[in-house]
Amino acid sequence: MKFGLAPATVLVAALSTTSLSAETLRLLTWGGYAPEDVIALFEAETGHTVEVTTSNNEEMIAKLRATNGGGFDLAQPSQDRIASAQEEFGIYKPLDMSMVDAAQFIPSMLEATAANTTYEGEVYGLPHVWGTSGLVVNTAEAGQVTDYTDLCDASVAGSVSYRLKRPTLIGFAYSMGLDPFAAYSDADAYQGILDEVEAALIECKPNVKTYWDGGDEIKNLLRSGEVVAAMAWDTGGWQLNADNADITFVAPEAGALGWIDTFVLPARGRADEAAYDWINFVMRPEIASMITNTAGNFTAAVDGDAEVSAELKARYQGSFDQAAIDNIKWYPPVPAGLEALEGATLDRINASN
Amino acid sequence: MTTPADLVCKDLTKDFDDFRAVDQVSFEVPQGSFFSILGPSGCGKTTLLRMIAGFQFPTSGDLLIKGKSMIDVGPSKRPVSMVFQHLALFPMMNIGKNVGFGLRQRGVPASEIKTRVGRVLERVGLPGIEDRQVDQLSGGQKQRVAIARCMVLEPDVLLLDEPLGALDLKLREHMKIELKSLQAEFNTTFVYITHDQSEALVMSDNIAVMNKGRFDQIGTAKELYYEPANAFVAGFVGDANKFSGKVMGIDGQRVTVTTNGGAELSAQAMHGTPSIGADAQIFVRPEAIALSKTAPTDNPNTIPRIVDSVLFNGANSMVLLREPQSGETLQVTLPQTGDLLGLGKGDTVFADWDPAQARCFATEGT
Amino acid sequence: MTDKSKLGFYLLLMPLMLWLITLIVLPHIGLFMVSISEKIGVREYETGLGNYAVFFNEPLYWRTFARTAFMSIFTTILTLVLGFPVAYYIAKLTRGRTKTTLFLMCLIPFWVSELVRTFGWMILLRETGVLSNFLQYTGVIGGPVEFLYNDGAIMVGLVYTSILFMIVPLVTTLDSLDDSLIEAGYDLGGTGYSIMREIVIPHAMPGIVSGCIVVFMLSLGNYLTPILLGGKDSLWFTGLIYTQFITRFNWELGSAFGFLLLALSSTIVFLGLKLSRQSLTETMGR
């Protein structure tokens, strides 16, 4: 062991000295948010190297929690999951706004995200990519599905799918004429809403073919025609639309659920400089367009849609008219402890027979 | 013979893909006799035994036990039992369960199994060991348990597949005698296969010598030893000195052969005399050769030889002699008496034998 | 032992001990500490067995727990029933090259990841999949039938995933069974059934038990197969643990679940050994 330690120390020392000039950026993000060509351009321009780990909201938080905010230099959770996670686990560090080129951000989104990700007076999040979840419908087979609750209609029995996750609870609540986001701060009122949704979803259970888990799974189900209507992300619907013109994303009458994925700095990140360089780089209009073309979702960058492909723009406009855009329900920050209530509801739905 | 023989084989043949393992073998084994099949490894004796047991089916020929054909009878239904080469005692059962296995298969009531197992273990000299495990027994005890496991079923024929092979030399000598007495005790027909001629000679009433799938000779131990039917039997059964050469003269049954080394030897021809000029082999038993320090008179086989080495082994001591001219060696039993006692390497002695005690066979394939 | 050889002994033991302590003992102690801390507020915890109480008070949790255990036991039995003839065929009825080839064929599915294997089953079993289409083509069924998303599909996936771990120890023990024991059984008047019951199975018992332990553990701890092949009601206990850790941020309950799963598997393995009258050292030592 005595002999093993020395080379290891040298190695660590060597790594830390090289990281002073050109850093390694360990990026924890979603699939499609850091395309190869963007990384190549960034590495050529700044000399930093980028290591990408793709994940989702829950796993990002779990990973950072396991290391007390270490192991990554930049993460991209949704804006509603930042303040509560910070309160519970302390896994992020505040942003230094002087390092950010704020002019590249659409001001309204920058402000909204800052407001939602403030904890104890410090701002933790910057907006990056935004999108919605709603309905993906095979219009030839199930054109009558225009709202979340339509998934429980007898005409589509056995051919619908959704996730057994919190967006489903919230979507159904809106569709049933309730306002869950308004009840976020009132646990009793929220529990009341959850109880109503629970009853509806238990009743709806026989209609469901399967609860899907991964994006590829639901796309496969829709593509094969085994499922004709599902609750899913807008990008999934648009990707399917490219192959089969009948399938597309439909903004539900009760409103699509809007999310914004952000930039946050993990509490024990080591390459903050590289992280800020990456943020300022990807918010450039031309880079933002490249990301939109791969991820399928639009960004918070000013003029970020300038070079986005015409097909994608057309699909977006096909799904969202102005009224639908105005009707998007943006996720407010989730208060700490709310997941426990939702979890119990989801468990009961799962267990019902 | 009033009763039919226990085991009869008629032209039994077994072909494998590319060779014939057993070639038209016929023999009869009378009730209560100890019959051995002796042959080198690969001669087909195991295949023959497995056909009798029912594990392999003959290509042609017939097999009768107590007068009934066994060709269409499976191994579990034949009135034969087999003692396997490595005994094949079941290690997952105790001795009582092992011996009682066959009776259980026949649906004999448990109480009767118990008494019969106890009785047969007593007969093999191991009373009261029912509760012991297989690995708690010595090699000789396992042997006896294996026999008891077969004998409890009272088979018409007991087959034994070289069961002494795995034992050490001393135990093997002991078990030879014990097997013979067990056979006498049970008065069951034993068919025993082995490649060890001494096992066969000691125990058997009749021995079949098997070579290349065929029976070369069937006879008593004495017949095989003194009246071998061919060169293979003469060479395989018992020790023998062998000389190859050409037939130079024939006088009745007496044949004179000049060996390849140039020595002139005489021997008795068996089963037809070879013609002059033909290749022939002469076999002489080591104990048939007389040694003397002075040249005996009027004996045709007397040649002075040099002692190559003395192999001292008590009463079984041997001496290796070399004929100085041809270099041919000769193995002779060395009596531990008289003036030959001090024989040493390099001494010259005269070896001779009565031509009536040497055997001459025409070399096969000439 | 001299002082010097003692030192050598400890040095040789060191890697194993390090591995055991750092990768098995310490994480389990940590997990246990987490499992006995109850959350009472933001960043506030107190020690107690509340998480275990939650498990016993919530029918969903212990029902899923029992369901997982029963399905794993059933999978194990099914794997044994399917694996034994295959192992017997490979060990006793084939020789040389054929044996190696058959053994390799059992291994081939394991050259790809479990995920790919499971997707393979999804392609076969789904409503628009190979099996459904084939049955429609042959006229056995009139319209498309969904074979996926039910407990049967989970069972198929689990058996497929774990059968190799049954076949390998079985082939090894059956290989060590001297053919002459089977022949002796027939020679003494045994039937195929009685020889199987009295000779082959008792001999193969250590292999059967070690295969069963491994298959049971693999099924109980499997995550992907039940999630991907199972349906709306097909809950698996590992899925609950994942949910608690990842989506509910409830590490405390998740840790308690983890410990309960450990206790369950240990108990069932212990009972299995007792029932089959085998000892762990004998089964694993072979």
Sign for the CA dihedral angle at A249, A251, A252, A257 comes to positive
The residue among A81, A82, A74, A79 whose CA lies nearest residue A53 is: A74
DSSP symbols for C198-230? IIIHHHHHHHHHHHHHHHHHHHHT--HHHHHH-
Residues B121 and B154 occupy one common structural domain? yes
Helix, strand and coil percent figures for chain C, each rounded to 5: 80, 5, 20
| A22 inside domain | yes
Residues A195 and A336 occupy one common structural domain? yes
Residues B37 and B120 occupy one common structural domain? yes
Site of tokens 């001001």: A107
CATH value at residue C150: 1.10.3720.10
Q: Among A226, A343, A351, select the one facing C248 at the smallest CB separation.
A: A343
Residues A30 and A103 occupy one common structural domain? yes
Last residue of a domain, one of B205, B232, B259: B232
Rg (CA), chain B: 25
Cβ of C186 within 8 Å of Cβ of B75? The answer is: yes
**Nearest residue on chain C to B148, alpha-carbon basis:** C188
| C78 inside domain | yes
Cβ neighbours of residue C78 closer than 8 Å, sequence gap 6 or more: C155, C159
Q: Does A340 touch chain C (CB under 8 A)?
A: yes
Q: Does A208 touch chain C (CB under 8 A)?
A: yes
Q: Among A211, A336, A351, select the one facing C42 at the smallest CB separation.
A: A336
| C87 inside domain | yes
Q: Does C201 touch chain B (CB under 8 A)?
A: no
Residues A91 and A15 occupy one common structural domain? yes
- Residues of chain C contacting residue A208, judged by C-beta atoms under 8 Å apart: 232
Split into its structural domains, chain A has a count of: 2
Last residue of a domain, one of B184, B207, B232: B232
- Residues of chain B contacting residue C184, judged by C-beta atoms under 8 Å apart: 82, 84, 88, 90
SS3 (DSSP) at C62:
helix
| A321 inside domain | no
CATH value at residue B285: 2.40.50.140
Residues B105 and B134 occupy one common structural domain? yes
Site of tokens 């267990």: A351
CB atoms within 10 A of CB B114: 15
Q: Among C180, C191, C202, select the one facing B88 at the smallest CB separation.
A: C180
Cβ of A209 within 8 Å of Cβ of C146? The answer is: yes
Residues B225 and B163 occupy one common structural domain? yes
**Nearest residue on chain C to B161, alpha-carbon basis:** C180
Across the A:C interface, residue pairs with CB atoms under 8 Å apart total 64
CB atoms within 10 A of CB A36: 9
Phi then psi for C270, rounded to 5 degrees? -60, -45
- Residues of chain C contacting residue B106, judged by C-beta atoms under 8 Å apart: 189
The residue among C108, C126, C117 whose CA lies nearest residue C225 is: C117
CB atoms within 10 A of CB C251: 21
| A314 inside domain | no
Sign for the CA dihedral angle at B57, B58, B63, B69 comes to positive
Residues across chain B: 366
| A300 inside domain | yes
Split into its structural domains, chain B has a count of: 2
Chains that touch C (3 or more CB pairs under 8 A): A, B
Q: What is the DSSP letter of B17?
A: S
Can you give the pLDDT at residue B42? 87
Chains that touch A (3 or more CB pairs under 8 A): C
Residues B121 and B227 occupy one common structural domain? yes
| Beta-strand relationship, B20-29 and B7-15 | antiparallel
What is the residue range of A56's domain?
2-130+259-305
pLDDT tens per residue, range B193-249: 999 888 899 899 999 999 999 999 999 999 999 888 888 998 888 888 888 888 888
pLDDT at residue B52 is higher than 90: yes
Q: Among A62, A210, A225, select the one facing C232 at the smallest CB separation.
A: A210
Chains that touch B (3 or more CB pairs under 8 A): C
CA B107 from chain centre, in angstroms, equals 38
Task: Give burial (CB, 10 Å; 0-12/13-18/19+) of A243.
Answer: exposed
Q: Which of B56, B81, B83, B84 is the best mutation test for C, with the most CBs of C within 10 A?
A: B84
| B286 inside domain | yes
Q: How far apart are CA B185 and CA B34, in angstroms?
A: 12
The answer, yes or no, to whether C and A have at least 3 beta-carbon pairs within 8 Å is yes
Residues A118 and A81 occupy one common structural domain? yes
Beta bridge partners of B330: B321
Q: How far apart are CA B236 and CA B254, in angstroms?
A: 23
- Residues of chain C contacting residue A61, judged by C-beta atoms under 8 Å apart: 249
| C46 inside domain | no
Cβ of C126 within 8 Å of Cβ of A205? The answer is: no
Q: How far is C192 from chain B (nearest CA, A)?
A: 10
CB atoms within 10 A of CB B191: 26
Cβ neighbours of residue A231 closer than 8 Å, sequence gap 6 or more: A133, A134, A135, A136, A148, A151, A161, A162, A163, A167, A168, A171
Q: Does A62 touch chain C (CB under 8 A)?
A: yes
Residues A125 and A17 occupy one common structural domain? yes
Q: Among C43, C59, C232, select the one facing A88 at the smallest CB separation.
A: C43
CATH value at residue A344: 3.40.190.10
Task: Give burial (CB, 10 Å; 0-12/13-18/19+) of B30.
Answer: middle
Q: Does A228 touch chain C (CB under 8 A)?
A: no
Residues A146 and A70 occupy one common structural domain? no
| B1 inside domain | no
The answer, yes or no, to whether A and B have at least 3 beta-carbon pairs within 8 Å is no
Residues A220 and A346 occupy one common structural domain? yes
pLDDT tens per residue, range A1-41: 334 444 444 444 444 444 446 889 999 999 889 999 999 99
Residues A114 and A145 occupy one common structural domain? no
Tokens standing for residue B165: 């092979």
- Residues of chain B contacting residue C191, judged by C-beta atoms under 8 Å apart: 76, 105
Q: Among C178, C199, C202, select the one facing B86 at the smallest CB separation.
A: C178
Cβ neighbours of residue C57 closer than 8 Å, sequence gap 6 or more: none
Cα–Cα distances in Å, from A253 out to A144, A145, A157, A321? 12, 10, 21, 12
Which of A20 and B134 is assigned the larger pLDDT? Answer: B134
- pTM listed for this prediction: 0.82
**Nearest residue on chain B to C206, alpha-carbon basis:** B92
Split into its structural domains, chain C has a count of: 1
| B2 inside domain | no
The residue among C92, C189, C192 whose CA lies nearest residue B82 is: C189
Q: How far is A226 from chain C (nearest CA, A)?
A: 7
| C187 inside domain | yes
- Percent pLDDT > 70 in chain C is 97
Q: Among C59, C232, C249, select the one facing A211 at the smallest CB separation.
A: C232
Cβ of C247 within 8 Å of Cβ of A61? The answer is: no
Residues A200 and A296 occupy one common structural domain? no
Residues B170 and B213 occupy one common structural domain? yes
CATH value at residue B51: 3.40.50.300
For each of chain A's 353 residues, which pLDDT tens digit applies? Answer: 334 444 444 444 444 444 446 889 999 999 889 999 999 999 999 999 999 999 988 899 999 998 999 999 999 999 998 998 898 889 999 999 999 999 999 999 999 999 999 999 999 999 999 999 999 999 999 999 999 999 999 999 999 999 999 999 999 999 999 999 999 989 999 999 999 999 999 999 999 999 998 888 899 999 999 999 999 999 999 999 999 999 999 999 999 999 999 999 999 999 999 999 999 999 999 999 999 999 999 999 999 888 899 999 999 999 999 999 999 999 999 887 788 889 889 988 988 87
| B174 inside domain | yes
pLDDT tens per residue, range C77-130: 999 999 999 999 999 998 889 998 998 888 888 888 888 888 899 989 988 889
Tokens standing for residue C27: 């994480």
Q: How far apart are CA A293 and CA C90, in angstroms?
A: 55
Can you give the pLDDT at residue A45? 93
Tokens standing for residue C73: 């036991």
Beta bridge partners of B94: B133
Candidate from A337-351, B257-271, C18-32, C252-266 with smallest mean pLDDT: B257-271
Q: Does C180 touch chain B (CB under 8 A)?
A: yes
- Percent pLDDT > 70 in chain B is 97
- Residues of chain C contacting residue B149, judged by C-beta atoms under 8 Å apart: 188
Cβ of B101 within 8 Å of Cβ of C191? The answer is: no
Q: Does C181 touch chain B (CB under 8 A)?
A: yes
Last residue of a domain, one of B214, B232, B250: B232
Residues B22 and B120 occupy one common structural domain? yes
Q: Does C179 touch chain B (CB under 8 A)?
A: no
Q: Among B53, B93, B102, select the one facing C189 at the smallest CB separation.
A: B102
| C18 inside domain | no
What is the residue range of B127's domain?
7-232
ipTM strictly over 0.90?
A: no
What is the residue range of C275's domain?
59-285
Can you give the pLDDT at residue A10? 44
Can you give the pLDDT at residue A4? 42
Q: How far apart are CA C165 and CA A320, in angstroms?
A: 54
Residues B183 and B46 occupy one common structural domain? yes
Can you give the pLDDT at residue A9? 45
Can you give the pLDDT at residue C283? 67
Q: How far apart are CA A195 and CA A341, in angstroms?
A: 10
